[in-house]
Structure 1
Amino acid sequence: MLKNRLISLRKSKNKTQQELADLLGISRPAYTAYERGNRNPDYETLSKLADYYGVTTDYLLGRSDNHYNEVNENKDFDSIQEINRLLDKYEIDDMSFFDIEKWKSMSPEQIRELESYFQYLVQKSKELEEQDK
């Protein structure tokens, strides 16, 4: 079930296996093994996938057909609270690149895109650190 849902979700976002692998910080063959069912992601990777797609881990694992996570279902979605959660999670102190007024109108999808960008920045930072060694 996991492999089918990963393929379906990836294709619905028009992403390549390489793009997902980069997002997760793994090799393309490792990601491909998830889609083939030859390997299962660890908990952290499964959580990243669920967050990226805006679904529950239960949906990914086939334990539920309800694919929306509570952020999508919550009609009182608080984008500022979600942005603050991301800033804390990724230890971002300088918020000068944010326009506070635009925070209020960010959708759950935009929040997920922002988190994907933060994940990308963290991965690139790690790669640069490795190159400097």
Structure 2
Amino acid sequence: MVNFMRNEKMYQLRRERGLTQKKVAMAVGITQSAYAMIERGRRYPRKDTMKKLADFFGLTVDELFFDEN
């Protein structure tokens, strides 16, 4: 089993914008549960979902999911 790290960038961006997990999830077409698992590092998103999340937050996929800065 692969352990993923919590996506702090997603968490911070969501909180800075005053958004709930449900609002972000609805905007990108996934369930709140799926979003929560992605943000917490318990699920790795599909490529199309990664792209939608990156677009939503105004970042590239690399910046949102792979950039450690």
TM superposition score normalised by structure 2: 0.81
Task: Name stretches of at least 5 consecutive residues in structure 1 with no aligned partner.
Answer: 66-133
- Whether 1:40 and 2:44 are equivalent positions in the alignment is yes
Give RMSD over aligned pairs.
1.6
Structure index of larger Rg: 1
Matches within 5 A, 1:1-133: 3-63=7-67, 65=69
Consecutive unaligned residues of structure 2, counting only runs of 5 or more, are: none
Work out whether residues 28 and 56 of structure 2, in 8 Å CA contact, stay in contact via their aligned partners in 1: no
Q: How many residues in Structure 1 have an aligned counterpart in Structure 2?
A: 65
SS across alignment from 2:39? helix
CA drift at 1:56: 1.4
Letter in 1 for 2:56: Y
- What is the identity percentage for the equivalent residue pairs of Structure 1 and Structure 2? 37
Change (3 A) 1:34 1:40: same
Higher relative contact order (CA 8 A, sep 6+): 2
Q: Give the TM-score taking structure 1 as reference length.
A: 0.45
